[in-house]
Structure 1
Amino acid sequence: MAKAYWIANVTVTDPDNYAAYQSLAPEAFRAYGARFIARGGRNDALEGRQTPQRTVVIEFPSYQHAYHCYHSEAYRQARNARLNAAEVDIVIVEGL
């Protein structure tokens, strides 16, 4: 089974509320076997939209793990905490 990856571009607009998201999200990631590949290091948009503050890449054991993590109750709570705290684009992509 191929691994899958979340690719998230994040621009934090309210650091205090974003901190609440950061305290809740790890529970969901642990439950679905996630492993961080990149999180907030130096990045540059070479094409397309402007560079986000943070780009995050998270590896999952499978596409199903990534999909179910995003739709889990634990991650739903984290997403709710993040409302109005960040502009976020998340894509799930299946690996080779």
Structure 2
Amino acid sequence: MPRAYWIAHVTVTDPAAYVGYQAVAPKAFEQHGAKFLARGGTAETMEGKSWQRHVVIQFDSLQQARDCYNSPEYKEARAQRAGACEASITIVEGC
């Protein structure tokens, strides 16, 4: 079964409010076996919209990635970040 990945692009617009997301989200990731492959760090946008942060998270399966995103813990995290950032999150199955 192929692994799956969250690919997230984020620009924080309210750092004080975004702290709430950062406090809650790790619980969801831990419960669903997430492994961070890239989080922040130096990035260079070659095409498309420029974002502040880029995150790649590995899961053991597409279902596990979906379950994490739809979990009560991550729903709470999303509520915490509402209005604190612009984000684009894609879940993609690996090769």
TM-score range, shorter chain: over 0.9
Aligned equivalent of 1:63: 62
How far off is 1:72 after superposition? 0.5
* Structure 2 CA distance for aligned equivalents of residues 62 and 68 of structure 1: 10
- Do structure 1's residue 32 and structure 2's residue 52 form an aligned pair? no
* AA matched with 1:45: T
How far apart are the structure 2 equivalents of 1:22 and 1:62? 24
SS in 2 for 1:55: strand
TM superposition outliers: structure 1 runs of 4+ over 3 Å: none
Task: Write the distance in 2 (CA, Å) between the matches of 1:43 and 1:90.
Answer: 17
1:18 aligns with 18
- The number of residues matched between the two structures is 95
Backbone CA RMSD of aligned residues: 0.6
What's the % identity of the aligned pairs? 54
Q: Which residue of 2 aligns with 1:74?
A: 73
How far did residue 48 of structure 1 move?
1.7
38-47 or 79-88, larger mean C-alpha shift: 38-47
What TM-score comes out, normalization by structure 2 length?
Answer: 0.97
What secondary structure, in the 3-state scheme, does the structure 2 residue paired with 1:23 have?
A: helix
**Unpaired runs of 5+ in structure 1?**
none
Question: 5+ unaligned residues in a row in structure 2: which ranges?
Answer: none
- Normalised by the length of structure 1, the TM-score is 0.96
C-alpha separation in 1, matches of 2:71 and 2:39: 21
Instruction: Write the deviation string for residues 27-61 of structure 1: whole angstroms up to 9, x where unpaired.
Output: 00011100000000111111122x20000000001
